[in-house]
Amino acid sequence: MANNTITDTNFKFPNQKSLYKGKVRAVYNINDKELVMVATDRLSAFDVVMPKGIPYKGQILNQIATSMMKATEDLVPNWLTATPDPNVAVGHLCEPFKVEMVIRGYMSGHAAREYKAGKRILCGVAMPEGLKENDKFPSPIITPATKAEMGDHDEDISREDIISKFIVSEEDYIILEDYTRKLFKRGTEIAASRGLILVDTKYEFGKTKDGKIVLIDEIHTPDSSRYFYVEGYQERQDKNEVQKQLSKEFVRQWLIANDFQGLEGQTVPVMSDEYIETVSERYIELFENIMGEPFVKADVSNIEERIEKNVLAYLA
């Protein structure tokens, strides 16, 4: 099983300047010009990386993200230039903005938890009275978060604070907001065409060497987004039932049920091989629903060797 997943990478590519390891991706800087981003099979929840990898997860995330970037590049420029391997994306070296642009069409997840706790302002944005969990907002709200280092929690932040603390200039922030709304609108349309509702999502942006703002990282994946099924949504809301979700919320719920929310003093519960298999199957189901096409499993007999071979061939 262990060989069927990739949870860590330490490649040495030609002209490699540095290696940055995020929660899920490893990013190789090649010659200060381009980035080779490897999507591993690591699973992160509550800002904690789980001990075991999920088969095919990296491939699933990478293929959804690269496909969605191609489907939105007419609206918003992105960093992507090539996908030499099912787990790899290559693109322009960018200086990332230190905020995540979170946009919510529905009151779910973190927003619902805050609302239940009595809060009516999230990241400086007012949420109307009288909503119940998973209701649609009158119009989508942007609730940014600061980018945490590995092991820390992302923090909510308002537009005003981002600008007044010079995290992002006002001029750039206006562009980030505009791009976020455009991407969410397109993502919503793509989801609807597949019988899905794009509930909320996050986008990350960076600046290229020539100062152009582009979309980076992942987009519209089950790790960065929450989806509901259109069918039965309204009936479930009317009956106060839980919505059927396509996101990694099912993992979060399993962790909560096993007394883990990433809080101090809590230990990560052990995931059995059987449970990991079901998580992998869920991710494949997510892929097929979000993409509207069957998932084709890549050869995982030796993932590291395969990735290295494909990246070296591309760089050559």
Per-residue pLDDT tens over the stretch 210-224: 999 999 989 999 889
Q: What is the pTM of this model?
A: 0.90
- In sequence order, which residues have a C-beta less than 8 Å from that of residue 111 and are 6 or more positions away? 104, 122, 127, 143, 200
Residue keyed to tokens 């060989």: 3
Taking residue 59's Cβ as centre, other Cβ atoms within 10 Å add up to 25
In whole angstroms, give the CA distance from residue 284 to residue 279.
Answer: 9
SS3 (DSSP) at 292: coil
Strand 94-96 and strand 34-39: the pairing is unpaired
**Vertex 240 angle, CA 234 and 241, to 5°:** 80
SS3 (DSSP) at 92: strand
Over residues 238-245, mean pLDDT: 92
pLDDT of residue 152: 64
Per-residue pLDDT tens over the stretch 108-152: 999 999 999 999 999 999 999 999 999 999 999 999 999 766 556
Over residues 28-50, mean pLDDT: 92
Confidence band for 45, pLDDT divided at 50, 70 and 90: confident
Average pLDDT, the chain: 93
Query: Distance between alpha carbon 136 and the CA centroid of its chain, in Å?
Result: 21
pLDDT of residue 223: 83
Per-residue pLDDT tens over the stretch 194-206: 999 999 999 999 9
- In sequence order, which residues have a C-beta less than 8 Å from that of residue 264 and are 6 or more positions away? none
**Vertex 234 angle, CA 241 and 253, to 5°:** 35
Confidence band for 49, pLDDT divided at 50, 70 and 90: confident
Following CA atoms 303, 309, 310, 313 in sequence, which dihedral angle do they give, to the nearest 10 degrees?
A: 170
Say whether pLDDT at 246 is over 90: no
Per-residue pLDDT tens over the stretch 260-311: 998 889 999 999 999 999 999 989 998 999 999 999 999 999 999 999 999 9
pLDDT of residue 2: 46
Over residues 102-107, mean pLDDT: 98
